[in-house]
C-alpha cells in the first residue's frame, strides 16, 4: 500500500520511516488559524501526501497568506509500519485522555506517546492564538477501506454544519454517538469547530487529489488564501460525487460494532452509500450471517482486519429537518423537555429517557434540539446538549 501511494507523488521525497510531527507550519501575526491532522490512522497516507504537496506551494506564497496554518502528522509509528494502528486506535482514545490528561498510563500502548505529543501541541497552538483573539479551526484527514466518494463526517454543532456545508460532498451527522473517543469530539469538546474529511479508498489515486482540492478550498473559505473563481470551481469539480449520492445530510441510524475484525468478513463489493434492503446478507461474523436490520445506505463497510466498526447504515435528512433543528436549538422548547413522558432532567443540558414510557420519536426530538443521544442500556437513553 505504501509503495502504491508513493507512485502518486513521485516528486515528493517523503521518508515514511521518520515522518516529522509538524509536516508544515506558517505562523502569521494576524488572521485565523487552521490546524490540519493527517495520518491519524497509519495506513491512510493520502492526507500526508496532500499536506506535503500543498505546503510546497504555500511555502512559495508565504507573503500572501492571511492566517496561520499547522499541518500535523498522526500515528507516526503506525505510518512507519503501514498499519492503521499498533496497540490502540489513535482515533478512539481521546475520551480517556481528556478524563486523565497525564502520562501515567500503564497499558503500554504505543499510541499514548503519540496522543500526548499531539495533545501538547494542540494546547500550545490554542494558547497562542486564543491569547491573540484569533479564530482556530481544525480538520482531520482520512481515507476508508471501502471504495468511496468523498464525504465529511462531523459532530452535529451549528458551527461544524456551517463549515461542512461549504463543500459539495455528503455530510454525515452525529458520528460521535456511535464512535467514541475521536479526535474530532475531543477538539469539539474543547470548544473549537472540527470536521473530518474522508477522501475515498485508501489506495485510490483520486483520494489524494480530493484531499488537495479540499485543503485549498478550506484555506480559501477560512480566508487564509484567496482563490480565483475558476480555481474554486476546478477544486469543487474534483470533489463532486456521483449522481447516485447527492451531497445532502445523512444521519447514522445503525452501527454494527465488531469485537474482533479478524472474525468479521464483509460481503465483497459494497461501496459507501450503496443502497441496502432490510434483511440483506451483509457479512459473516464468527461464521454466522449478519443481515441488514433496516433499509438505508451502507456506510464504512469494514474491509480491513483492524477496527471495531463493521458497518453503519445511513438515512438522508431533508433540508427542512435541518432548518427546523437550527431554529429550535436555542429555543424555549428546551425548558419543557422534562415534561415529556419518560424524560427526566439530570442537570441543565442533560436528560435521561426511559424508553419503556417514552416510545415515540424521542431520539428525533432530542436530535432536533441539538442533543447527543447515547444509549445507556436497553431501556435508557442519555441525552446531552452539544
Ligand atoms: Zn481513518
Q: What is the radius of gyration, based on Cα positions, of the chain?
A: 21
Which of 324, 87, 46 is CA-nearest to residue 200? 46
CA of 85 to the centre of ligand 1 (A): 10
Q: How far, in Å, is the centroid of ligand 1 from the Cα of 147?
A: 13
Residues whose CB falls within 8 Å of the CB of residue 336, separated by 6 or more in sequence, listed in order: none
Distance from Cα 142 to the centre of ligand 1, integer Å: 4
Tell me how far apart the alpha carbons of residues 315 and 292 are, in angstroms, rounded to a whole number. Answer: 14
pLDDT for position 139: 97
202 Cα to the center of ligand 1, angstroms: 9
Q: How far is the centre of ligand 1, averaged over its atoms, from the C-alpha of 283 (Å)? A: 21
Distance 356 CA to ligand 1 centre (A): 37
pLDDT of 375:
74
pLDDT value of residue 359: 65
Distance 289 CA to ligand 1 centre (A): 26
84 Cα–ligand 1 center, Å = 8
How many angstroms separate the Cα of 350 from the Cα of each of 149, 324, 386? Answer: 36, 21, 10
Decide if 154 contacts 169 (C-beta within 8 A). no
The dotted CATH code for 250-317 is: 2.40.50.100
Give residue 34's Cα distance to chain centre.
Answer: 16
How far does the centroid of ligand 1 lie from the alpha carbon of residue 93, in Å? 14
pLDDT in tens, the chain (386 residues): 333 334 445 456 678 888 999 999 999 989 999 999 999 999 999 999 999 999 999 999 999 999 999 999 999 999 999 999 999 999 999 988 888 877 777 788 899 999 999 999 999 999 999 999 999 999 999 999 888 999 999 988 888 988 998 999 999 987 878 888 999 999 999 999 999 999 999 989 899 999 999 999 999 999 999 999 999 999 999 998 877 888 888 989 899 999 999 999 999 999 999 999 999 999 999 999 999 999 999 999 999 888 889 999 999 887 777 777 777 777 777 777 888 878 888 888 888 888 877 766 777 778 778 787 777 777 888 888 77
Ligand 1 is a single-atom ion; what residues have CB below 5 A from it? 41, 44, 142
The domain 2-239 is classified under which CATH number: 3.20.20.70, 3.40.50.150, 3.30.70.1350, 3.40.630.10? 3.40.630.10
Distance 119 CA to ligand 1 centre (A): 18
Q: How far is the CA of 140 from the centre of ligand 1 (A)?
A: 9
CA of 101 to the centre of ligand 1 (A): 23
Taking the C-alpha atoms of residue 367 and residue 363, their distance in angstroms, rounded to an integer, is 6
**Segments of the chain assigned to CATH 2.40.50.100:** 250-317
Per-residue pLDDT, 7: 40
The CA 209 to ligand 1 mean position distance, Å, reads 17
H-only helix segments in the chain: 2-8, 46-60, 76-81, 94-99, 111-131, 158-164, 183-190, 205-221, 229-239, 319-328, 362-368
- At 100 the three-state DSSP class reads coil
Assigned C-alpha cell, 234: 476546478
How far is ligand 1, taken at its centre, from the CA of residue 44, in Å?
6
- Strand ranges across the sheet with 171-173: 152-154, 171-173, 249-257, 309-317, 296-299, 275-276
pLDDT tens-digit readout, 177-223: 888 899 999 999 999 999 999 999 998 989 999 999 999 999 999 99
| All CATH 3.40.630.10 domain ranges in the chain, comma separated | 2-239
Q: How far is the CA of 312 from the centre of ligand 1 (A)?
A: 15
Ligand 1 center–CA 198 separation, angstroms: 8
Span from the CA of 39 to the centroid of ligand 1 (angstroms): 8
- Pull the grid cell for residue 90: 489513535
* Residue 40 CA, ligand 1 centroid: distance in Å: 7
Residue 360's pLDDT is what? 65
For cell 451502507, name the residue.
Answer: 298
Distance in Å, CA 248 to ligand 1 centroid: 22
Cα 163 to ligand 1 centre (Å) = 20
How far is the centre of ligand 1, averaged over its atoms, from the C-alpha of 38 (Å)?
9
Q: What is the pLDDT of residue 12?
A: 67
Residues recorded for the chain: 386
Amino acid at each position: 500500500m505504501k509503495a502504491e501511494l508513493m507512485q502518486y507523488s513521485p516528486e515528493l521525497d517523503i521518508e515514511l520511516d521518520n515522518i516529522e510531527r509538524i509536516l508544515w507550519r506558517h505562523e502569521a501575526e494576524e488572521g485565523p488559524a487552521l490546524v490540519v491532522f493527517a495520518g491519524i490512522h497509519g495506513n491512510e497516507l493520502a492526507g500526508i501526501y496532500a499536506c506535503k504537496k500543498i505546503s510546497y506551494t504555500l511555502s512559495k506564497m508565504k507573503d500572501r497568506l492571511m492566517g496561520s496554518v499547522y499541518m500535523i502528522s498522526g500515528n507516526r509509528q503506525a505510518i512507519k509500519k503501514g498499519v492503521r494502528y499498533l496497540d490502540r486506535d489513535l482515533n478512539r482514545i481521546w475520551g480517556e485522555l481528556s478524563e486523565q490528561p497525564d502520562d501515567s498510563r500503564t497499558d503500554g500502548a504505543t499510541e499514548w506517546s503519540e496522543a500526548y505529543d499531539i495533545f501538547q501541541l494542540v494546547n500550545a497552538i490554542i494558547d497562542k492564538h486564543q491569547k491573540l483573539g484569533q479564530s482556530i479551526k481544525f480538520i482531520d484527514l482520512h481515507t476508508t477501506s471501502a471504495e468511496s466518494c468523498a464525504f465529511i463526517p462531523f459532530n452535529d454543532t451549528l458551527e461544524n454544519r456551517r463549515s461542512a456545508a461549504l463543500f459539495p460532498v455528503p455530510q454525515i451527522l452525529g458520528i460521535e454517538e456511535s464512535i467514541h473517543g475521536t479526535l474530532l469530539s475531543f477538539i469539539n469538546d474543547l470548544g473549537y469547530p472540527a470536521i473530518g474529511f474522508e477522501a475515498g479508498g485508501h489506495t485510490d489515486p483520486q483520494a489524494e487529489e480530493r484531499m488537495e482540492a479540499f485543503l485549498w478550498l478550506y484555506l480559501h473559505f477560512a480566508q487564509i488564501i484567496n482563490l480565483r473563481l475558476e480555481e474554486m470551481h476546478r477544486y469543487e469539480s474534483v470533489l463532486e460525487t456521483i449522481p447516485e449520492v447527492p451531497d445532502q445530510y445523512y444521519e447514522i441510524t445503525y452501527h454494527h460494532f465488531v469485537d474482533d475484525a479478524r472474525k468479521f468478513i464483509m460481503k465483497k463489493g459494497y461501496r459507501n452509500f450503496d443502497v441496502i434492503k432490510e434483511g440483506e446478507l451483509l457479512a459473516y461474523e464468527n461464521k454466522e450471517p449478519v443481515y441488514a436490520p433496516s433499509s438505508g445506505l451502507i456506510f464504512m463497510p469494514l474491509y480491513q482486519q483492524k477496527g471495531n466498526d463493521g458497518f453503519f447504515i445511513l438515512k438522508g435528512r431533508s433540508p427542512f429537518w435541518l432548518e427546523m433543528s437550527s431554529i429550535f436549538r436555542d429555543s424555549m422548547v428546551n425548558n419543557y423537555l422534562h415534561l415529556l413522558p419518560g424524560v427526566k432532567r439530570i442537570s441543565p443540558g442533560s436528560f435521561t429517557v426511559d424508553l419503556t414510557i417514552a416510545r415515540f420519536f424521542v431520539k428525533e426530538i432530542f436530535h432536533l434540539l441539538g442533543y447527543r443521544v447515547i444509549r445507556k442500556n436497553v431501556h435508557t437513553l442519555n441525552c446531552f446538549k452539544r
